[in-house]
Amino acid sequence: MAGTLFVVATPIGNLEDITFRAVRVLREADLIACEDTRRALKLLNRFEIRKELVSFHEPRERQRLPKIMERLRRGQSVALISDAGTPAISDPGFRLVREAVREGIRVVPVPGPAAVTAALSAAGLPTDRFLFLGFLPPKRERARKKLLAVRDEEGTLVLYVPARKLVELAGIIMETLGERRIVVAREMTKIYEEFVRGTPAEITRVFQESEVKGEICLLIEGKNE
């Protein structure tokens, strides 16, 4: 009998945000597939969990997939986690979930933190409709085309942005979408959590001299009637 693939959400910053169920599933799993073993160990050590780990990140996803699928076929349980938040949401995991579904292996979500929903809940922009874009293409022209394609979207646009690209992206937003309200959500759930709200020009003034690191969740007001 085939095993079970658990898709386990983990904290995006504050380790207290992990659920009781997530801790239990990680303790009971035969194998934990993680984006970065070093990051995973910090979480597991915090909750005194000792398990076999296998790295499962973007360059090695295809390479590791057969090994993990074989464990599932043998009836073992595998917990899939990413560095932060919910796996497969702009993180590794989709290919594994898809393959498990194709083979009729049970896939169980263990819900919890996700940067996109955390940012939406506190941004102050409409949440009744939103479009998640993930990461934009790294090249400027392709990013422009991506935003131009959704300029008529009435829901809030949500995307992830490397901090070093924030000021450049604010300029692209002004060029493609115009003077809309945007919200920068950074360091969520951590000590220096910050929400910065304003127009693209205002956001540029705030961050153009800053040395902000990491990843940012950026929210853009949808098109108004």
Q: What is the CATH number of the domain that holds 188?
A: 3.30.950.10
**Domain co-membership, 142 together with 96:** no
The per-residue pLDDT for 58 is 77
Which of 75, 110, 145 is a domain's end point? Answer: 110
pLDDT along the chain (225 residues), means of 10: 94 96 98 95 96 88 91 97 94 93 97 97 97 95 96 97 94 95 96 95 91 91 87
Please report, for the domain that includes residue 56, its CATH number: 3.40.1010.10
193: left (phi over 0), alpha (psi -120 to 50) or beta: beta
The per-residue pLDDT for 90 is 87
The per-residue pLDDT for 224 is 84
Which of 52, 79, 110 is a domain's end point? Answer: 110
Residue 119, H or E segment: helix 115-123
**Domain co-membership, 126 together with 192:** yes
**Domain co-membership, 89 together with 129:** no
116: Cβ–Cβ under 8 A, 6 or more apart, which residues?
A: 89, 132, 158, 217
The per-residue pLDDT for 57 is 84
Residue 131 domain boundaries = 115-220
Question: Using CA atoms, how far apart are residues 110 and 21, in angstroms rounded to an integer?
Answer: 7
User: Would you give the DSSP letter of residue 223?
Assistant: P
Q: In this predicted model, what pLDDT tens digit does every residue of 42-59 receive, in sequence order?
A: 999 999 999 999 999 877
The per-residue pLDDT for 225 is 64
Instruction: Please indicate, yes or no, if residue 125 is contained in any of the structural domains.
Output: yes
Instruction: Please indicate, yes or no, if residue 168 is contained in any of the structural domains.
Output: yes
Which residue's structure tokens are 């917990």? 79
Which of 81, 110, 139 is a domain's end point? Answer: 110
Instruction: Please indicate, yes or no, if residue 225 is contained in any of the structural domains.
Output: no
| Three-state DSSP state, 61 | helix
**Domain co-membership, 12 together with 103:** yes
Instruction: Please indicate, yes or no, if residue 164 is contained in any of the structural domains.
Output: yes
Q: Are 181 and 125 in contact (CB under 8 A)?
A: yes
**pTM higher than 0.85:** yes
The per-residue pLDDT for 1 is 75
Instruction: Please indicate, yes or no, if residue 26 is contained in any of the structural domains.
Output: yes
